[in-house]
């Protein structure tokens, strides 16, 4: 299964959700890959740490190859690295993604990621794609390539207003480019059950018939420690409340 984690609003937890769900897949024995399409590289640093080697293969090099004529292209697998966690691999991000964006768009390379995932389908049971906080070339690539779309929601009014446009954009890409794409659901992140506003906002989404997933992911300072140590929750604190919520959410998606 290929999942794209997408929201046009930044700061809603895309990278955190991507890496923690992927880590749980790997911990459960599934061959798992994360593709980091966000030039900020949060998923890359989360899984590999802050100190990254200069010569590390990355997703920008994968896309750059498509702009050059070569007799023999490298395979998509050549741009993948292992993480410290067994069964969990990564196609890292690079700041060069920003530089390549316009060139790739003008040369109509929008299907290159889909072709790569077709190559990798036999190697991985689960693929999670982290995306930039914008509907740009890379996000469209991901939505065209994936089977499911997961939408983080952080109980913020701006996030809610953007949700309807986001869902329309996903449906348009489904209609025009990827008939297999489905919205797997809205992931409620940083949920505070004792606060009135988050409860009301989530209930309104449910009342409108939107696919809100359960359980909701609790707000916790432990996730900051997880980021700092570059260690997803399932490896840092496997019995923590937030970890168990992630596991239940992961299993509900299978």
Q: Are strands 126-130 and 81-82 parallel, antiparallel or unpaired?
A: unpaired
Continuous segment of H or E residues that includes residue 112: helix 112-120
Arithmetic mean of pLDDT, 145-158 = 92
Question: Who has greater pLDDT, 70 or 223?
Answer: 223
pLDDT of residue 54: 81
Give per-residue pLDDT as tens, 55-65: 899 999 999 99
Give per-residue pLDDT as tens, 183-217: 999 999 999 988 888 899 999 999 999 999 999 99
pLDDT of residue 157 exceeding 90: no
Arithmetic mean of pLDDT, 120-140 = 96
How does residue 162 score in pLDDT terms, banded at 50, 70 and 90? Answer: confident
Question: Who has greater pLDDT, 173 or 73?
Answer: 173
Q: In which domain, by residue range, is 137 found?
A: 2-253
Arithmetic mean of pLDDT, 80-101 = 97
- Structural domain count of the chain: 1
Integer angstrom CA distances of residue 150 from 110, 182, 189, 243, 249? 20, 9, 12, 18, 11
Which domain CATH number covers 48? 3.40.50.300
Q: What mean pLDDT is reported for the chain?
A: 94
Please state the separation of Cα 205 from the chain's center in Å: 22
pLDDT of residue 252 exceeding 60: yes
pLDDT of residue 42 exceeding 80: yes
185 contact partners, CB below 8 Å, separation of at least 6: 150, 151, 211, 212, 213, 253
- Cα dihedral 213, 21, 141, 53 in deg (nearest 10): 160
pLDDT of residue 28: 98
């Amino acid at each position: 299964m290929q999942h794209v984690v997408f929201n046009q609003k930044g700061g809603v937890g895309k990278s955190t959700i991507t890496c923690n769900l992927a880590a749980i897949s790997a911990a459960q024995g599934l061959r798992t890959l994360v593709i980091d399409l966000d030039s900020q590289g949060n998923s890359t640093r989360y899984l590999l740490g802050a100190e990254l080697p200069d010569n590390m293969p990355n997703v920008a090099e994968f896309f750059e190859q498509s702009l050059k004529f070569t007799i023999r292209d490298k395979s998509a697998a050549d741009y993948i690295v292992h993480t410290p966690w067994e069964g969990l691999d990564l196609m890292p991000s690079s700041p060069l993604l920003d530089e390549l964006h316009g060139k790739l768009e003008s040369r109509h390379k929008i299907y290159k990621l889909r072709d790569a995932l077709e190559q990798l389908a036999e190697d991985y049971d689960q693929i999670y794609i982290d995306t930039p906080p914008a509907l740009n070339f890379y996000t469209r690539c991901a939505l065209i390539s994936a089977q499911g779309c997961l939408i983080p929601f952080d109980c913020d009014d701006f996030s809610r207003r953007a949700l309807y446009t986001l869902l329309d954009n996903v449906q348009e890409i489904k209609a025009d480019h990827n008939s297999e794409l489905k919205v797997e659901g809205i992931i409620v992140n940083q949920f505070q059950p004792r606060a009135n506003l988050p409860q009301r906002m989530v209930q309104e989404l449910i009342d409108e018939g939107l696919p809100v997933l359960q359980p909701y992911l609790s707000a916790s300072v432990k996730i900051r420690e997880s980021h700092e140590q570059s260690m997803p929750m399932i490896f840092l604190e496997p019995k923590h409340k937030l970890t168990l919520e992630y596991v239940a959410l992961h299993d509900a998606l299978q």
